[in-house]
Amino acid sequence: MSYDMFNENFLEYLKELLGNELEIFLENSMKPLKESIRVNTLKISCDSLKNILIEKGWKIENIPWVDYGFWINYSTEDIGQTLEHSLGYYYIQGAMSMLPVEILDPKPGELILDLCAAPGSKTTQISQKMQNKGIIVANDINIKRIKALSSNIQKCFAINVIISMRDGRFFFKFFKNIFDKVLVDAPCSSTGIIRKSWKVAKKWNIKTIERLSKYQTQLLLSGFDCLKEGGILVYSTCSICPEENERCINNLLKLRNNAYLEEIKIKNVKYEKGITKWKNEEYDKDISKCIRIYPHYNDSEGFFIAKIVKKND
Amino acid sequence: MIKKLDRLELKQFCEYLEKYYGIEEDFNGYVLLWSGKNKIRLTTIETYEFFEKMKKAESIGIYIAKRIGTDWVLSIEGTQLIGNKIKKNFIELNREEAEKWMKGEPIKIKSEIPSKFIIGKYNGTFLGSGRVISNTIYPYVSKWRRITRTCPTSYHS
């Protein structure tokens, strides 16, 4: 099979990262990503929506790691152009993209910061987990993306959200030590979702990865500083590059001595532990508590997720 | 500019809803806010209290109603919030009409409706408001959330 859409440097990089799993990764990258939806339980119950969709002739399958997520194996219409979608009964969201919020585990009454929130997939998921009780501050830097965020919050009936437009890297200057939980779903190279856009594989270059890595570290540090003592931060990207993931976590552990990694406990997801050695870099041993999910493991997007707790100084 | 409705403004809004839609609602537990001159947004009390402490924020909660002249028109979420209290000025639609409504297409009706605005309802769900002109309803659905096309059956792996 030819993998023309991967540039040579990226192929070399992947070979080093994946070893003998490279071929299966590349094969998987050629397949389209399965469509999936999240039921917006702020508007309708899973059973009610399931019945509506089945009655319409759709074939749906439970996503094993979230009880309100479904794969759409067959639909009688474009899933983004239905009455139910327009009414906000469901949100089109990647199956693995629902996992970071599950790990964050938002509870009603908490004060939560979503630092890089647009277009709002995870913000609205957090809101439904909180049953609209408590407060979410959804921040993003980009005005165009803020508009999408605002529309999705409206459609999903997330009434407990405040939208903020600040540079996430400096958010800590205004809101230090106050949030119960923080989600940093950082902008990334998207190397875990090549199946969505082959452009990612074609245009990949290490300079961009290095630039992103610095930016992501700054966001992570800022998000961590916004947490109160005992608070939980979840860091996630849809990238499989260690520079954007393990290296950022390692930087945080080095720069904040009250940051500790927590073991992530999830069922029904195949994953690998975070890596502690990459090229000539050695990372903190605790980084093995993070998880990296390759796209071919669960027939989904690729993701990296870390769970961090802020302890006493 | 986001500003809380004062007591009188809230009272007038509630009175309008009661008179026009038969809705008895005092929005207890929520905060209603002006967003610009003519739009009302809704949030929770604790969310608003935190919002007040923030020096800068873009928006809060969701939009539930807008003023057109001397009338109030409820948004889709506005009607869904208080839908089960609506007693008059709503119309039951069938699936085909509901889909047309969410496409923003005019809907012809057989009998004339005496009011200027009407709320659409389909299968227990409220679809927001529409403007009535003689025997036609023109639904208010923002462009960004309209159903724009219908595609044929799709298969997925």
Beta carbons of B51 and A79 less than 8 Å apart: no
- pLDDT confidence of residue A56: 95
Q: Contact B157/A34, CB-based, under 8 Å? A: yes
Residue B35 and residue B59 in contact, taking contact as beta carbons nearer than 8 Å:
yes
> Does the pLDDT at position A2 exceed 90?
no
Residues of A in CB contact (< 8 Å) with B are 31-32, 34-35, 43, 71-79, 81-83, 85-88, 111, 132-135, 137, 146, 150-151, 153-155, 157-166, 174
pLDDT tens-digit readout, A220-252: 999 999 999 999 999 999 999 999 999 999 999
| ipTM given for this complex | 0.94
The verdict on a CB contact (< 8 Å) between A35 and B156 is yes
Query: Nearest C-alpha of chain A: how many angstroms from B99?
Result: 6
Which pLDDT belongs to residue B86? 94
| Residue A15 pLDDT class (50, 70, 90 cuts) | very high
Is the model's pLDDT at A256 over the cut of 80?
yes
Residues A143-161 pLDDT 10s = 999 999 999 999 999 999 9
**DSSP alpha helices (H): ranges in chain A?**
8-18, 22-29, 46-55, 83-86, 99-104, 121-129, 143-156, 199-203, 206-226, 246-255, 295-298
Average pLDDT, chain A: 96
- Contact predicate A139/B56, CB 8 Å: no
All residues of chain A having their beta carbon less than 8 Å from the beta carbon of residue B102 are 83, 86-87
Contact status of B35 with chain A (Cβ, < 8 Å): no
The verdict on a CB contact (< 8 Å) between B47 and A174 is no
Which residue has better confidence, B111 or B48? B48
Q: Provide the Cα torsion B67, B70, B76, B81; round to 10°.
A: 100
Residues of chain A contacting residue B147, judged by C-beta atoms under 8 Å apart: 81-83, 85-86
Measured CA to CA, the distance from residue B67 to residue A209 in angstroms comes to: 49
B151 touches chain A (CB under 8 A): yes
Q: Is a pLDDT exceeding 90 seen at residue A19?
A: yes
- Judged by CB atoms closer than 8 Å, whether chains meet at B149 and A72 is answered as no
Q: Taking 90 as the threshold, does the pLDDT of residue B23 lie above it?
A: yes
Q: Which residues of A are catalytic?
A: 238
pTM equals 0.96
Distances (CA, A) of A264 to A192, A221, A313, B68: 20, 20, 23, 52
Contact B156 A34 (CB under 8 A): yes
Q: Which residue of B has its CA nearest to A179?
A: B50
Summarised one tens digit per residue, pLDDT across range B25-70 is 999 999 999 998 899 999 999 999 999 999 899 999 999 999 999 9
pLDDT tier at A260, thresholds 50, 70, 90: very high
Confidence (pLDDT) at A90: 98
What is residue B149's predicted lDDT score, i.e. its pLDDT?
Answer: 64
CB-CB contact of B127 with B140 (8 Å): no
* Contact predicate B74/B65, CB 8 Å: yes
Distance (Å) from the C-alpha of residue A164 to the closest C-alpha of chain B?
5
pLDDT in tens, A195-220: 988 899 999 999 999 999 999 999 99
Interface of B with A in 100-139 (CB under 8 A): 102, 122, 125, 127
- In angstroms, the CA A144 to CA A215 distance is 20
**Does the beta-carbon distance from A35 to B99 stay under 8 Å?**
no
Closest to B58 (Cβ–Cβ): which among A81, A111, A146? Answer: A146
Residue of A nearest to B2 (CA): A162
Residue B150 confidence (pLDDT) above 60: no
What is the per-residue pLDDT across A163-183, written as a single tens digit (0 to 9) for each?
999 999 999 999 999 999 999
A160 to chain B: which residues are within 8 Å by CB? 43-44, 46-47, 61
Which of B147, B107, B74 has the alpha carbon at shortest distance from A88?
B147
